Structure formats: C-alpha cells, structure tokens
Structure 1
C-alpha cells in the first residue's frame, strides 16, 4: 500500500517560508522608513524596492514575480517575470514593496510593505488596471455579500449576519470622487463610512480583523493590490469578490493575454485571485489600523509585522528588534 501523505519536509519548508517572508517585508519597511515624513515618495519607494529585492536572494524558493513594479522596461527590479530567490520550490510572487508611498512621504497612517507567495500558477495575473472589490471577514454565511448586489442589500445582509444594527456597521473605502455614490448610499442606508486617502490592501485586511472596527470593504482600487488582498483574505478565511475594470479594449486584451482562456470581464471569486497554498506577510512603515509603524531609536529599530498561512490559518503578529551595529543594511 503506497504512502500518499504529504512529505514532511514540504510542511517544514512551508512553515519556514512563512517566517522567511517576514524578513523580506521587514527589510523593505526599514529601508523606506528613512524617508518617512520627508515628502519624497519616489525615494521611499525606491529604497523599499531595492531592499526587498536584495532580501529575496536569501529566500529558499525558485520565485517568479507575477504582481510587481511593472514591466521589465518600466521597472529595474521586481518587474513582472523577474526570477528571484536562492532556489527551491517554484513559487509565484506578488509584491507591493511600499503600499502607500504618499502615506510614507507624508507620515500618514497605514503605509505597509507587502509580499504574498503561492504555488506556481495560483495567482491571478492582474494588469495595472482598476478592480472593483468587496471584502468581509470570516465566520459569516457564504455569499453574505455579492459584488452584483446593491450596497444597501450588502450592508443589510452583513448587519443581519453579525447581529448588529445597521447603524453600527462600518464600511471602509478609498476617498475618491468615483466613490461618491457608494458613500452616499451607504450613509443613506444608515451605516458609517471610514474614508482612506490610500492603502486599500491594509483596508481589505482590516475588514477581516475583529479589532479593526471595520465590517466591510468596498469600492475600486488597483487590481494588483486586489490580488495581494485576496492572498491575505484567503489566509483568514474571509470572503472577497472582484472584477477587473477596463478603460479601453487594449486593457481588456492585455488582461486576456495574461490569463488565456478566461473571460476578462468575469466576476472573480477569492480562489480565482489566489488559489492553493498561500503565504502572506506585511510590515508596518507608519502606524495604522492593521500594524504599528517603524520605531527608529538611537541603537536599533522596532518593526511590527503580520504573517499568515492559508494552510494552517495561523495569524502571527511579530515584533522585531533590529540592532544597527549588526544589521547587514546601514541606517541612513
């Protein structure tokens, strides 16, 4: 009788990889923190990209960037298709080295560094277009929200499922002109609205966390950020739906080429965006709803990170203390 159990070394590798990812997001956060509040978002982003790319050289994977900084001719590092890692299992990588470059530059809440891993072929290859999104947390009935339902119906369903008056339901969305109708209808339904200037990955995750006081995330934001959010939502067994939004036929054709045989206009379920075994890590750059920001002290820096695995459902918050005298990077 053959033994069909999963090899033990794969399980150990999977666990180790989850913790190795923290070092990658920590490196990017530490590098970008030098630019916090200095008003130079491009310098902050560049520092995060370079530090994250170098950190990946120590991770035991054969990785391919599928959500990254752009095409090869647009980005010198972490471009779509770039190979990273020190060798190991074939993995697809989704990154946002600094989500919220403006937030970092202005020292506003919720700037984070983000990485997600999935087994090869399990991330949606999302072009740089908008995605309509809706997210709720775990322990709710399947289908409690639907992207095609009105926001009023979705809010009522969430309130009923959570056994809360609709007046206590909080919807989070980006503060954008395109969301004026969504915001108005949410308030007309009696619910509250929390507006963000940037950072919809952190906001989508917050909708899945009990201590965030966010019940639902909705609205349109970047499609690459939607895939990163889906990876995190998978890890905590939340619910998410999305749909790519196109400005012209060229964008639609690009999405079709990136995902052959798939209807680019289809409604995307959570597993359409992030399937299989998924690992996720984020580190705070500035303090926000999800994570504390970097604290830079005379001799060391303190980081606060979140790391999750879909296989186990484990959510870890990790505080790291980084000694300037022994760290391989040099504080500026």
Structure 2
C-alpha cells in the first residue's frame, strides 16, 4: 500500500471522532455511534482505493452502512480489507468518561482475520515483552515474564482489564500476584495499543473482550512490534456457526498475531474522542475543534501522533456533517 494513504486514514478517524464528540455525556450512545458511522463512511468515499469492510457495524441487515461486505472508497486500486470501529466505547461517550476512540485498520486483501461479532480472550504486550507471554500460561507466570522483560518488579506493572463479572477470577489472580490493575468500563482497543507505546502507563492488557476489537488492536501491535494472542470465546452454538461461516474452522485455536494480521502491509489509525491512555479527547474551540490522532504503518514501523486544528467554517461538509448540524441547534 502507498504510504500516502496514511493521512487519508487519519482523516477518516478524525471525521468520526469530531462527529461523535458532540454527544459526549449526553446519554445517547446510539446517536453518537450513528454520527460517527455517517462521518466515517462519507470520508471513505473520497479515498482512492477499492476497500471491502471485513470488520464493521454488523451484517448488511443489521447496519445501514459500514456493514460487513460493503464496498468503500472510489473503486480504484488497490484492493484492501477494511476493519472499522467508528466509535469504540459507545458507553464512554454516552457517560462522558475516558477511553472512547474512532479507529480503522487497513490491510491488503486477505490480510486481516475476518473475526465474527463475538467475544475473544486476549492478552497483549508491547515490543519489549514480545515472546514472553502465552494466553494459556498462569497469570503469575505471564506477569513475571513481562516484568523481567520490562526491567520492572511485578508490583510496578499496570494491567488493564475490562470491569466485568466474568473477570473476577482474573482480577483476583492479578492482585494476588501483586500487580496494579486499571479497570476500564469500555473499549479495550486503546489500552491494548497503549501497551506498545512507551510511557503510556499500560504494560499488559488481559481478559475477554470483543473479537473484532482484537483484530483492530492486533493491527496496531503489528505496526509497533508488540504481541497479541487470542482465542474465540463463543457463548452459544450460534457464535460457533457465525465463526465457521467466516472461515474459522477451529474456534478453539490459539490465534497468534500472524493469524490476526497476516502481514506487515497494514495501516492503523485512531483518533481520541474522550481522554484515554493513548490519545487526548476532542476539544471544541471558538472556531472549530482540536483532535489527537495516531497513525501507524506496519512496513516501516513508523508511528505518528497528529495534533490537528479543524476550522468548521472551512471544513468540507462531507467530513463535518454531524458537527455542523449540531452547531445549528446551539
């Protein structure tokens, strides 16, 4: 893929973040998600590529746009797989709490695991701890190995876990090992990616979250040189059938980073909506807004943080529709 696409994908996540940020703290996660989806879709239409959504808002009959199988882009080469989460952390936006981002991952056709909309058990670390984790290893063993790799004591490790009843045993095991825990209410892509950014304050992410989100995080960690392992966590027979329909024959298979993202020819972009460990929030100003975005390219390992100023009086309407509509009501 051409490196010039990097900034194009940043525009995609910026638009989604700007549109959904108007809904922060307003208790309407559906409206926030709809705004992000519409803004992201409209910017994709301007990019010179022939993309197919492999991870998106659901099946065609469940989502009006950015559904699995939808074609995005102008239709020109190259042929690309597209994974999106226009608003990762809908509850975070609705409540006005930390951790919401707009995120995309792009790879050559066939480069991303077509993950079904179900749960996945995951573990993620940054480059320094690559090769020192295993999803099936005891918690203490993983934490000991990661601490050694990072030159820390276990007491100094920070582990991010989704605050869910299913994680009670995991949380207790981490506490018994002596590590610190940061419980999050929503959105495990951002902390998984943060594992690979030195100084983020996140050392390891563990626990069961969304499988599509696992692929998005894996794309970033592939760019960063980190590591993720996962295993699908079906709740019922319907989940198993859904996975098999997407070509995953063995739902119990341990998925490595190479299974989740099959080559280094991958891009990742994310823009902060609310404050998080990786990205700052959208901040509205008298003339527009400020955004904070990270873009990564797997082939070179380049990571760029972009601080952008957006002028609403000059911004093309296709990228700012949701925000402009909101401004007219204020």
Indicate the TM-score class for this superposition, using the shorter chain for normalisation. Answer: over 0.9
Q: Any stretches of 5+ residues in structure 1 without a counterpart? A: 1-9
SS at match of 2:84: strand
How does 1:7-22 map onto structure 2 within 5 Å? 14-22=2-10
Q: State the shift of 1:264 in Å.
A: 2.1
Instruction: Verify the 8 A CA contact 1:166 1:191 in the aligned structure 2.
Output: yes
C-alpha separation in 2, matches of 1:27 and 1:301: 11
In structure 2, the partner of 1:43 is: 31
Instruction: Verify the 8 A CA contact 2:128 2:149 in the aligned structure 1.
Output: no
How does 1:130-149 map onto structure 2 within 5 Å? 130-140=119-129, 142-149=130-137
Q: State the shift of 1:257 in Å.
A: 2.0
Choose the corresponding residue for 2:112, options 92, 103, 123.
Answer: 123
How does 1:202-221 map onto structure 2 within 5 Å? 202-221=190-209
How does 1:81-92 map onto structure 2 within 5 Å? 81-86=69-74, 87-92=76-81
In structure 2, the partner of 1:172 is: 160
C-alpha separation in 2, matches of 1:278 and 1:20: 14
C-alpha separation in 2, matches of 1:34 and 1:156: 43
How does 1:191-270 map onto structure 2 within 5 Å? 191-259=179-247, 262-270=249-257
SS at match of 2:127: coil
Q: State the shift of 1:137 in Å.
A: 0.3
Choose the corresponding residue for 2:273, options 285, 298, 303.
Answer: 285
Q: State the shift of 1:252 in Å.
A: 1.2
Instruction: Verify the 8 A CA contact 1:124 1:259 in the aligned structure 2.
Output: no
Choose the corresponding residue for 2:45, options 54, 57, 63.
Answer: 57
Q: State the shift of 1:34 in Å.
A: 1.2
Q: State the shift of 1:18 in Å.
A: 1.2
Choose the corresponding residue for 1:33, options 11, 21, 27.
Answer: 21
**Count of paired positions:** 318
How does 1:85-124 map onto structure 2 within 5 Å? 85-86=73-74, 87-124=76-113
How does 1:154-165 map onto structure 2 within 5 Å? 154-165=142-153
Q: State the shift of 1:39 in Å.
A: 1.0
Q: State the shift of 1:250 in Å.
A: 2.6
SS at match of 1:173: strand
C-alpha separation in 2, matches of 1:212 and 1:180: 25
Q: State the shift of 1:60 in Å.
A: 1.2
SS at match of 1:316: strand
C-alpha separation in 2, matches of 1:253 and 1:100: 27
Q: State the shift of 1:143 in Å.
A: 2.5
C-alpha separation in 2, matches of 1:326 and 1:25: 18
Q: Any stretches of 5+ residues in structure 2 without a counterpart? A: none
Instruction: Verify the 8 A CA contact 2:128 2:150 in the aligned structure 1.
Output: no
Q: Single out whichever of 29-38 and 64-73 deviates more from structure 2.
A: 29-38
SS at match of 2:213: helix
SS at match of 1:133: strand
Q: State the shift of 1:203 in Å.
A: 1.1
Q: Deviations over 1:94-137 (max 9, x none)?
A: 00000011111111111100011010011111111100000010
C-alpha separation in 1, matches of 2:24 and 2:158: 29
C-alpha separation in 2, matches of 1:274 and 1:325: 39
C-alpha separation in 2, matches of 1:285 and 1:254: 31
Instruction: Verify the 8 A CA contact 2:202 2:277 in the aligned structure 1.
Output: no
C-alpha separation in 2, matches of 1:162 and 1:297: 40
SS at match of 1:292: coil
Instruction: Verify the 8 A CA contact 2:288 2:310 in the aligned structure 1.
Output: yes
